[in-house]
Amino acid sequence: MADEKRPGKIVIISGFSGVGKGTVVKKLLQDFGHYVLSVSMTTRKPREGEKDGVNYYFVTNEKFENMIVEDGFLEHAGYADHYYGTPKDFVIRNTREGKNVILEIEVQGAMQIKEKYPDAVLIFITTPSAREMAKRLIGRKTETHDQILRRFKRAIEEAEHMKDYDFIVINDKIEDCAREVNRIVEKNEGGVRYDPQYKKEFISDLLEIIKKHTE
Ligand code: 5GP
């Protein structure tokens, strides 16, 4: 038994579109050695600069549906008219080897993982306010107006799930946020408490923003 490794953790990172989850994850991988990132499969088209096998495995609906039938996903979900899923083999292999595997996924998938793997660490990343989130999402200029609106609407549903996460971290500065996420994984402590008032304000501000953008 001497060479049997302690299994790594499944680390779920979720958060509203535009909060900078991707950048936080990149920083986490750069600054701390014991993480690997699960590359998801999706049916959405690559954005400019995205590479197949690096950002996602970009596949057809048919290929994705075959993977579902073959039980190849740890979890999968629909988001903004596309499928997204976590290939199972990579996560199982790496956690067995003692690595912490990061899954940057949306809430439906996170809830599936929580049920199947109760030891997974669920972290929700958010911004100081809905206005800040909207500013970041619009500012990155990777989505059309309609897509942005769809993501705002989805964020309202996601806000309702914040309470189901083990930890909530506010992404004000990337370095601090990555350090805080690492502290949570290592020590099982950190982040901020779930605050129903924050959620309420976030949703009402977002509804106002949506209204403004549909006028
Ligand atoms: P995006 O299109 O902006 O890359 O991703 C849209 C949403 O899908 C994000 O919230 C992202 O975290 C989530 N996502 C990415 N990969 C997966 C996955 O494998 N499974 C699930 N459930 N969500 C994913």
How many structural domains is the chain composed of? 1
Tokens of 137: 């999402």
Q: Evaluate whether 21 touches 151 at the Cβ level (below 8 Å).
A: no
pLDDT tens track for 162-186: 999 999 999 999 999 999 999 999 9
DSSP bridge partners of 60? none
SS3 labels along 72-134? CEEEEEEECCEEEEEEHHHHHHHHHCCCEEEEECCHHHHHHHHHHCCCCEEEEEECCCHHHHH
Q: Is residue 29 part of a domain?
A: yes
Q: Whose CA is nearest to atom 21 of ligand 1?
A: 105
Q: Is residue 83 part of a domain?
A: no
Cβ–ligand 1 contact at 109 (below 6 Å)? yes
Residue of 40, 57, 138, 158 to test ligand 1 pocket, by largest number of atoms within 8 Å of CB: 40
Q: Is residue 82 part of a domain?
A: no
Q: Is residue 86 part of a domain?
A: no
3-state secondary structure of 84: strand
Measured between its terminal Cα atoms, the distance across the chain in Å is: 65
Q: Evaluate whether 124 touches 171 at the Cβ level (below 8 Å).
A: no
Q: Is residue 1 part of a domain?
A: no
Whether 187 has a pLDDT exceeding 80, the answer reads yes
DSSP letter string, 179-192? HHHHHHHHHS--SB
Q: Whose CA is nearest to atom 22 of ligand 1?
A: 109
pLDDT tens track for 76-130: 999 888 999 999 999 999 999 999 999 999 999 999 999 999 999 999 999 999 9
pLDDT at 116: 95
Q: Is residue 89 part of a domain?
A: no
Cα(95)–Cα(177) distance, integer angstroms = 23
Q: Structural domain of residue 207, as residue ranges?
A: 10-38+99-214
Q: Work out the pLDDT band at 155, boundaries 50, 70, 90.
A: very high
Rounded distance from Cα 53 to ligand 1 centre (Å): 15
Cβ–ligand 1 contact at 158 (below 6 Å)? no
Tokens of 20: 């900078």
Whichever domain contains 133, its CATH number is 3.40.50.300
Q: Is residue 85 part of a domain?
A: no
Q: How many Cβ atoms sit within 10 Å of the Cβ of residue 29?
A: 15
The β-bridge relationship of strands 82-87 and 10-15 is: unpaired
Q: Evaluate whether 177 touches 125 at the Cβ level (below 8 Å).
A: yes
Q: Is residue 121 part of a domain?
A: yes
Q: Work out the pLDDT band at 3, boundaries 50, 70, 90.
A: low
Cβ–ligand 1 contact at 104 (below 6 Å)? yes
